[in-house]
Amino acid sequence: MSRICAICGKQPQTGNHIVRHGLAKYKGGIGLHTTAVTPRRFLPNLHRVHALVDGTPRTIYACAACIKAGRVTKTPVRKAAPPAQA
C-alpha cells in the first residue's frame, strides 16, 4: 500500500525529532542545547474507504481531512434482498 491519499495526493513528509536539554534562559538557565537530531517521517492519516470513483464503487485510501471535508462520495448502502418465496 502506498501511503498516498487518492483524493488530494497527501503523502509522507520528512522532518526531524529534536531533543533539547537545559533550562531556558527566561527561567534562569543558560539556555536550551540541542543534544540529538533524529530523522523521522510524518505519515498522513489514511483510511480505507468504499467510495464512488467515476460512478463505480471502489475501495480507495483517503486521508481523514478529505473524508471530513466531504470530498469522498461514499457508496450507497445496499439493502438485503427479501427471501425467495418457494
DSSP 13-51: EEEEEEEEES--GGGTSS--EEEEEEEEEE---EEEEEE
Helix, strand, coil % over all residues of the chain, rounded to 5: 10, 40, 50
Contact of 32 with 24, CB cutoff 8 Å: yes
Q: What percent of the chain has pLDDT over 90?
A: 84
C-alpha cell at 80: 438485503
Note if the pTM is more than 0.75: no
Contact of 65 with 49, CB cutoff 8 Å: no
pLDDT for 51 equals 95
Locate the domains of the chain by residue range.
13-69
Does 1 score more than 70 pLDDT?
no
Section 17-44 average pLDDT: 96
Does 62 score more than 80 pLDDT?
yes
pLDDT digits (tens, 9 = 90+) for 28-38: 999 999 999 99
Does 26 score more than 90 pLDDT?
yes
Q: Give the three-class secondary structure for 57.
A: strand
Q: Is the dihedral of CA 17, 42, 14, 66 positive or negative?
A: negative
pLDDT for 78 equals 81
